[in-house]
Amino acid sequence: MAKRRTDWGSLVAGLLFLGLAIAFVVRGSGSWEFDVMWLLPVLALGLGVAGVARALFRSRARESGGSAPPPERD
């Protein structure tokens, strides 16, 4: 079985969307109220963190002599 590298950017983005989905489910149940206006800043910040994580991982792989993951094809 081929060993795959962890894609930290996708992991952070996935956890962000999972957290936001849970927040909307809890809000819909009526047990927690929050203002939807914080959604866009949190989403932008989270996706920014995911992008930074991905960039750091790729730059670290290049500096250590390892090969960066191949670019994704469409």
Calpha distance 68→51 (Å, rounded)? 15
pLDDT at 39: 76
Q: What is the mean pLDDT of residues 35-58?
A: 80
Task: Give the pLDDT band of residue 49 (cuts 50, 70, 90).
Answer: confident
- The verdict on pTM exceeding 0.75 is no
Q: Which structure tokens are listed for 18?
A: 């999972």
Q: pLDDT at residue 17 above 80? A: yes
Q: Which structure tokens are listed for 19?
A: 């957290």
Q: pLDDT at residue 27 above 60? A: yes
